[in-house]
Structure 1
């Protein structure tokens, strides 16, 4: 995974243009007073420029170029670099007040996910976290990553950690960055066609099936990625529009094969049916979905694609593992998927049919 590096300069020193100017005067044995006479500038202004107290303006740079032959562009580049360095140093001084915020995140998790290095602490830790979240301050982080969560979390039975949710969402964006930049325009018709085919991919080995789904969705302008779950987020999947491109990110929560494909189809439904709501976070489909009509619609979409309505009676009438396998063969999908839907509808999570429900950890199969 990519290592995220703070966007500040690695240089601890930037020469002010006044030092270069003074060196030029010393080389030519010209005093500041003489330079003032030659340029028509006041001796005080010349002194302030040399000391760095006064900024070097384009007009003065061009005048110095005319008198000394020193490129105005060179002087102005030095001035810009010096001013940027000073502003950066001032910003880093302010970072000292943000250390408590930065240290509130689980340190080992940040190291494990390559957000920071083991040696990072203090203002370096702050700088890397702000860069990771692409914000300028903790208050900007709260407005960008925490405040919107109230509008896109679905109803849920358990409280989740908002900071860790933000961390996982940002990791998913960065993990998908290269695909997002190269994705073709979103095509809803192509996405509907892909959703109809995806259940049949489940007969393949999990890693191959997931890769094929990624490729199929990308042709429809939708990016699908896997990002390992972070504890205390309870996230199974998310659908999120990033700069105009829909992204679906999934975890291996519950490590359930049928649950994984239900999640993918559920998030596809949000992209298709609810594009005006930019982000959905789903936490395992164990909440009261009836409290959210859009979640109910997404669940129905996933169920209908895994087991088409005309096969529902046959599914309900099945009582044996052999019957589940036969129905799966007729549908052209994995018996694990059919067994998962049977268990969900019957409320029976044990027995011979339950043994058909395979476990899968994408972190392992995609490694």
Structure 2
């Protein structure tokens, strides 16, 4: 794209920039279904930060072009002339790489997308199968994918077993759907575990599929906010820790606008949990230290969610247990034990409270405050 836009001649396809897509659904502000459909409480809390929960904007008008496989994606801010110049530059650049159509081309080589409105600039656009609204800052499903969304769940609803090829297809569709469902990656632990046991073992996955269907259905009535997908500057940072006795942590403000005063919390594990922890004295235990650390991470997030409104905010919990941090970042675990269940709870929690959690690692010697919260019980 080195050519100057001032001297580029008009392109034959640029006239389609005024063709509005026929399948573009109207904007509708849906009611919030979470208050009635979610098992979690929805208290009205004070805001955590006085700054607006939006990503830091560009100082200059946006001019951006991205290429994904055979899709060309343009984002531009400005007057109609500015949008036309960017489109003209892209079309001429494509012609420099791929030969334009001519009268001798076969009928199979034709312009299908442009007459359907693909070159139309608008703030509400279907891109790569998702409906993106740049004014409302939301991501939702277009109408033609709503029926497709239900097919994997209808296929498995009354079946106790499926073929391996069918399960590959279903899992692939769920993976593609997880992009617009924050936290849904936490439901894949048991779904992926089935690939390891294709002959003599049966794994119960009904709860995981039901949770995934619940999260997916909320897309139809409550679009995903972009702040749930793209991390912003964190408004709260806090270390957490868990021991064989209890768990605890500290939340600290991360911005000068924060309304957060430092929060210290702790909770003791009951005797049943303490007696089930794997140790040298109890090698047959069913709960590992990493499971306890992941429990502390989830409790750490919930403590903040119960005190402040986290909607549209990015928070950073810090832990000194590498497996727990990795499970949270990846959203799945290579186990069907407590970690898989905890990641499932984390999915529902994040979707309900509409925040983005970016867990990170903190070295053990630097985690003294959280260690004291989880260990000092005298």
TM range (shorter): under 0.3
Higher strand share: 2
State the TM-score, normalizing by the size of structure 2: 0.22
Which of 1 and 2 has higher RCO (CA within 8 Å, sep 6+)?
2
State the TM-score, normalizing by the size of structure 1: 0.23
Which is greater in Rg? 1
